[in-house]
Structure 1
């Protein structure tokens, strides 16, 4: 079957490991279902896989794509929940020590077919097309958990999103505006800041700029490049919610500020199946549609990977099939 996959780990030149070609069709274990992929989105996680981060060397070749949407063999339209937990785990699957994402242990969704546990195939809302629905399982679910499960924010309070144009960042802007928060963002360029404002941000600022006032919560996916600004931007008792560190770990934790102002640092990873179900319902009731910066045929996947590697994304990049 047609696939976009990582041939081997390539830490220094990730695109050198990218292949577009044929791979064997997947077998469907008991309790799993086969999904004909219609759309899947590009995530930073796919670049990490090409580098060999978070995946064992003997797992290659690995089909990329840790989320998507498609059609079951009975014709039902579904959204993929990307997190595959242990069969015997009870409770929040994001805390399951044996959990994995598609593309870590199991082949991903950049292919004609993908197989997932039956519970990971969730009915697609009719109000979202396949490309829009494909955005929900990773970036939008990550944003939903950060905002509604981890932050402790109340509607009316002020949130700051570091980085204005990535998939998680644009989702945070749209979700935050719909939920009644005052949404501020930072961005490296005027175009990125304008995009955030067009999606609902109340104000945007240059990266590292002094804000008009401190905020109740900061949402961090950047890491080293923005960490100090995030800590300085919080009100006493405020919260920074972290779901990534694309520029690396901060050189200083700023512990004096942390304890003196009684700040909270909260980690957040992906989300649960139930949270994805709730996210889909929230979007449907509020008429929310994810911002898609680029829709590309899956055969042209390399162009999308190159744009992400160069930091030139503006919302989600979606690869389509069929």
Structure 2
């Protein structure tokens, strides 16, 4: 079958080891696994990190990339794939598809049956393919870790990336005042169109916020702490600008802030997110859709840093 996979990894050139070609048909890893025919998939920065060798050692190569997908179960039912697989060998207690098990950027993928979430009627399949990683992470950051129900305002750092853009849309949909930063004037304009008050990085906000969504890291963490209201939650799921940040601990204890990590979300949260889409309250932001055969161009688009929203692959094209 045709697949998009990492044949080698290169820490300095994300796309050097990217191959589009033939791979063996998937085989269920154990009882309780099944094979899904993939219809749409979406790219994540996780795929670029994998191509750089982060979390993907040489002894697991070649590895089919991809965490996100919508497809057809063996009985033909449309499903969204939840990409988290229990993994006692991983310190997190789980691994994502494309880390130890082959990923979703292929004609077919083997997954645990428990990872199949029904696609609600009326939800666009390409849009649903955007949800399982970036959008689920944003939802988990806001609702579970950030306890957004207890906040009136949210700051999202680095609008334009998959998680940050999702957090803007979700924060607005949940009835909160959302502030969003970006270095790019065009991305600030897009964030404003989604309902956020868009500001330049480091800008003073008109109010302190109860939740901060932090995916940028070293470049913005000090600003995140300064914008946080007493008792606020600063939720971190990424560090695209660098992972070694200086923290003013005086601000943390004086303001009684919570600095929380987040990674992915639960299967039930994915179902809740799909329900929001079915109700028309949320629609994932798609940057672009590429035919599967043009997957390299899709990766080049993601790697450029110019994306706003998700890059999707149409496996029928």
Change (3 A) 1:110 1:269: same
**Corresponding residue for 2:23?**
23
Deviations 1:153-174 (A, max 9, x none): 2366010000111111111111
| Superimposed CA distance per residue, residues 236-289 of structure 1 (whole angstroms, 9 cap, x where no aligned partner) | 222201111111114312212111221110111101111111211122224421
State the Cα deviation string for residues 81-126 of structure 1 (Å, max 9, x = none): 0101149x9xxxxx98431000000000111000100010111112
Ranges in structure 1 where 5+ consecutive residues have no aligned partner: 90-94
SS at match of 1:257: helix
SS in 1 for 2:72: strand
Cα distance between partner residues in 2 of 1:61 and 1:35: 20
- The C-alpha deviation readout for 1:113-150, integer Å capped at 9, x for no partner, is 00100010111112222211111111111011001101
- Farther-moved stretch of structure 1 (36-45 vs 128-137): 128-137
Task: Confirm or deny that 1:172 pairs with 2:173.
Answer: no
In 2: Cα distance, 1:223 partner to 1:62 partner: 28
8 A Cα contact 1:156 1:180, kept in partner? no
Query: What residue in structure 2 maps to residue 92 of structure 1?
Result: none
Aligned residue for 1:14, secondary structure, equals: coil
C-alpha spacing 1:97/1:154, structure 2 compared with 1 (3 Å): closer
2:190 paired residue number: 195
Contact 1:293 1:314 in 2 (8 A): yes
Partner Cα distance (1:143, 1:137) in 2: 10
Task: Tell me which residue corresponds to 1:290.
Answer: 284
Question: Do the aligned residues in 1 keep the contact of 2:35 with 2:110 (CA within 8 Å)?
Answer: yes
Aligned length: 315
Supply the distance in 1 between the matched residues of 2:50 and 2:291 (Cα, whole angstroms): 21
Selected match of 1:148 from 125, 143, 147: 143
Inter-partner Cα distance in structure 2 for 1:50 and 1:274: 30
SS in 1 for 2:223: helix
Residue 184 of structure 1: how far off its partner (Å): 0.8
Q: How far, CA to CA, are the matches of 2:102 and 2:148 in structure 1?
A: 37
1:8 paired with 2:2, answer no
Match of 1:225 in 2: 219
Contact 2:42–2:68 under 8 Å retained in 1: yes
Q: TM-score, normalised by structure 2?
A: 0.95
Runs ≥4 in structure 1, deviation > 3 angstroms?
95-98
Matches within 5 A, 1:255-294: 255-294=249-288
SS of residue in 2 equivalent to 1:45: helix
Give structure 2 stretches of 5+ with no counterpart: none
Residue number in structure 1 paired with 2:48: 47
The equivalent position to 1:251 in structure 2, one of 220, 245, 251, is 245
Tell me, yes or no, if the aligned pair for 1:178 and 1:286 is still in contact at 8 Å.
no
Q: Distance in 1 between matches of 2:281 and 2:165?
A: 16
Q: Please say which of residues 248-257 and 37-46 is displaced more in the overlay.
A: 248-257
Cα distance per residue 1:263-316 (max 9 Å; x no partner): 110111101111111211122224421010110112212222222222111100
Q: Secondary structure at the match of 1:204?
A: strand
Q: CA deviation at 1:205?
A: 0.2
